[in-house]
């Protein structure tokens, strides 16, 4: 089957992408690792000894970065519907965190520890139908914010990937309602033509 022009372009971009090459050198599972590294450098979200929750964690690029940043005395609890190969220092729960059993498993893993930072690089499976894809992506980030509201300790932080489009402005307002400071980041490692941005909330109002 012949590949479409757009998938050929993606493949070419991917193969020649400096962040893809750098990830291979640095041992990161995805180029997305550099997005979190850059956001963290600017916004100083994750520190040693913290408890971090990584939603939609597979293949593990963000979990790797978070585990490095919290160090051996910190904790990273990660969850995804997809399987994820083990990451040193990361406790992984597979399943849909909106399901009671999976949510309870995550809570049991936390053992009552308050969460300092919730991170989410979740994205839906892309169908190619823009309106449907945007609705699906907004649904995921709303779920991530809902989880953050339930587990974050006061003054905790939140970062989530959001696609600009229908529902985006309302979502930013919703984040502003529960955090003292909200900024929008477009990391250098995010492809320029992508509509993705990262919403960073600091100072959870609890």
pLDDT for the residue 9: 65
Please tell me whether 180 is known to bind a ligand: no
Supply the pLDDT for residue 79.
98
The answer to whether 62 is annotated as binding is yes
Please give the Cα distance from 123 to 129 (Å, whole number): 14
* Domain extent for 57: 5-204
Rounded to two decimals, what is the model's pTM? 0.89
Q: Is 96 annotated as a binding residue?
A: yes
Q: How confident is the model over 37-51, as a mean pLDDT? A: 97
Residue 100 among known ligand-binding residues? no
Q: In CATH, what number is assigned to the domain containing residue 110?
A: 3.40.50.150
Task: List pLDDT tens digits, range 27-37.
Answer: 687 888 999 99
Number of domains present in the structure of the chain? 1
Residue carrying structure tokens 């990161």 = 28
| pLDDT > 90? residue 168 | yes
Active-site annotation, residues: 161
């Amino acid at each position: 089957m012949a590949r479409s022009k757009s998938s050929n372009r993606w493949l070419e971009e991917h193969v020649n992408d400096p962040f893809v090459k750098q990830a291979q050198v640095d041992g990161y599972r995805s180029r997305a690792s550099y997005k979190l590294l850059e956001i963290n450098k600017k916004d100083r979200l994750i520190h040693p000894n913290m408890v971090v929750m990584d939603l939609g964690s597979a293949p593990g690029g963000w979990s790797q970065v978070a585990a490095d940043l919290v160090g051996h005395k910190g904790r990273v609890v990660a969850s995804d519907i997809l399987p994820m190969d083990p990451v040193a220092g990361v406790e992984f729960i597979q399943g849909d965190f909106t399901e009671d059993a999976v949510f309870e498993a995550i809570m049991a893993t936390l053992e009552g520890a308050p969460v300092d930072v919730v991170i989410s690089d979740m994205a839906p499976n892309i169908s190619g139908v823009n309106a449907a894809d945007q609705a699906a992506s907004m649904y995921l980030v709303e779920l991530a914010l809902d989880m953050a509201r339930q587990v974050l300790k006061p003054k905790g932080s939140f970062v989530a990937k959001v696609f600009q489009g229908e529902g985006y402005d309302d979502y930013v307002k919703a984040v502003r309602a529960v955090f003292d400071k909200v900024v929008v980041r477009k990391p250098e490692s995010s492809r320029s033509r992508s509509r993705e941005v990262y919403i960073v909330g600091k100072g959870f109002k609890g």
